[in-house]
Amino acid sequence: MKIWTGRFDGEEESYHRIFQRVSTDSDYENIKPNDFVLHGFAVDEGVKRNKGRVGAQDAPDLIRKNMSNFPVVSSEFSLKDFGNIKCENNDLEAVQNLLADKVSKVLLKQGKSVVLGGGHEVTFAHYSGIRKAFPNQKIGIINFDAHFDNREPENGLATSGTGFWQIAQEGEIHSLHIGIQKNSNTRKLFEIADDFGMKYILADEIYSENIPNLMFTINSFLEDVDIVYVTVCMDVFNASIAPGVSAPAYNGIFAGRQFMQIYRHILSSEKIKALDVSEVNPNFDIQERTARLAASLVNEWFMF
């Protein structure tokens, strides 16, 4: 609880900030419907395997710190923090299975799953937990990312860049990728995305005049699925606002009016059951800009 601190203005509910509404827990039976339930995925073994800049395993507590002082908007808001999950003996697959089990318990209690990465290998773990909880539902994944993360594993080893390839191997994939960069994905990765039926919106397509077309694409996607999982890889953003990531995108998108219009519209959907942020790397952050942005993106969901 030392991480969850902030400005104290008073006990009255209208004064509350997030740190005043957090409870640490270890008993999943205590979860009530619509509780936000947080796990830290303190893991970047997948980033290491993917030859990225390691350090994201240290991000969950830093993101928590930057979440703490946001004001509480809803009188019903409750956040339960179940602590961090760490990778032992470089066994990424085991820790992904562990997170999946914990996420499924949250969702079966009708809680809302929030995960703070860690590397983007969190995607396959988080999705697996959702699939375990809702085996007969059509799960849609909205991925804000510069990369498709649909590489085939080398030597059978998963990485931070193989999540969507792994998901596709388990059956039909339903995903919409927003912020994809042409200069961050080979032609082969675009071909794999097309073969898998992965839908995408290029970073170059996110501009004011095109918002109506993007909203149509997003609404069509939302209408076609039963459950929505949102995952945000922080390298989707321009390096000037998100310098602390494993793979910086110097021409990434900005968290300006157009992005927030899209992002908030997605978060307003009642179909969303899970959200995570990943690839915050404190070793390369500047004045905690990236961690603060990641925290604010999570907080946007808390305000609905």
233 labelled ligand-binding: yes
Residues 148 and 71 sit within 8 Å (Cβ to Cβ): no
Backbone torsions φ then ψ of 123, nearest 5 degrees = -60, -50
- DSSP-assigned letter for residue 238: B
Bridge partners, 169 (sequence order):
none
Tokens linked to 154: 């080398």
Q: How far is CA 68 from CA 61, 65, 112, 138, 283, in A?
A: 11, 5, 18, 34, 21
Distance CA 133, CA 258 (A): 33
147 labelled ligand-binding: yes
149 labelled ligand-binding: yes
Measured torsion, CA atoms of residues 211, 217, 223, 225, in degrees rounded to the nearest 10: -130
Task: Identify the three-state secondary structure at position 249.
Answer: strand
25 labelled ligand-binding: no
265 labelled ligand-binding: no
276 labelled ligand-binding: no
* Residue showing tokens 């498709």: 148
Residue 45's contacts (CB-CB under 8 Å, 6 or more residues apart) are: 87, 90, 91, 92, 95, 119, 121
Residues of each annotated binding site: 120, 145, 147, 149, 233, 235
Residues of each annotated binding site for Mn(2+): 120, 145, 147, 149, 233, 235
